[in-house]
Amino acid sequence: VQVLQVEQTVQWMDKTNTKIQENKEYLTTLDQAIGDGDHGINISRGFQEVMNKVSGQAYEHVADVMKDVAMTLMSKVGGAAGPLYGTAFLKLSMTFKGQDVDYALFSQGIEDALNGVKQRGKSDTGEKTLVDVWSAVSERLKQEEKFDGSVLEETARTAMENTKDTLATKGRAAYLKERSIGHLDPGSVSSFYLFEAFAEVINE
């Protein structure tokens, strides 16, 4: 794709929702190991509500979809992940507002979303949170010049897998200190599904 269309954006959310529903138990298991065991429940409820909200609606711009996604996640998802994902989509909607989303604008949007999440979570790259996946994707987008699904999927997957070996210094997992090492970060896994879904949409 050259320019991300509204229809593709809705597909992106739909595919993300499908992956999250299919992996709800897995996400919960991951959060049981280093958190409070609700990430699968939180995020699956959130994306189901997102699809209830956005499917069948006539949107003019990609930004309008992103805004509904943001509002839904913020209002329907409890815990840390709801406001963090909500912030990410709100930033995307602000950066994309009223415009065609070409590669450069998408890349800018992801960078702005990343910075919004960092600010909201008072977190940075390397703290074993979903920020690790968003920052890897953002960095990679800046290095490329056009949409490439396999590059994005690979980048997000590697960043997600790398959270296994790191020490958590933010979120509930941080309470475990060294015992957080050896477990994947649940939020990084849900963010991986989001970017894997995006990669599938742009590859189609």
Cβ proximity to ligand ADP: between 108 and 188 the closer is 188
DSSP assignment of 156-181 equals HHHHHHHGGGSPP-SSGGGGGGGGGT
Beta strands in 98-195, from DSSP E residues, in sequence order: 101-102
Question: Considering the complex, what minimum distance in angstroms separates the CB of residue 184 from ligand ADP?
Answer: 9
Give, in order, the Cα–Cα distances in Å from 145 to each of 17, 93, 103, 107.
28, 21, 7, 9
Cβ proximity to ligand ADP: between 9 and 72 the closer is 72
Q: Which of 15, 19, 24, 39 binds Mg ion (CB under 5 A)?
A: 39
Distance of CA 11 to the CA centre of its chain: 15
Kindly state the DSSP code that residue 96 receives in the 8-state scheme.
Answer: H
- Give contact residues for ligand ADP (rule: CB under 6 A): 31, 35-36, 38-39, 42, 79-81, 84, 121-123, 129-131, 170-172, 185-188
Question: Considering the complex, what minimum distance in angstroms separates the CB of residue 202 from Mg ion?
Answer: 30
Contacts with Mg ion by CB under 5 A lie at: 31, 35-36, 38-39, 79
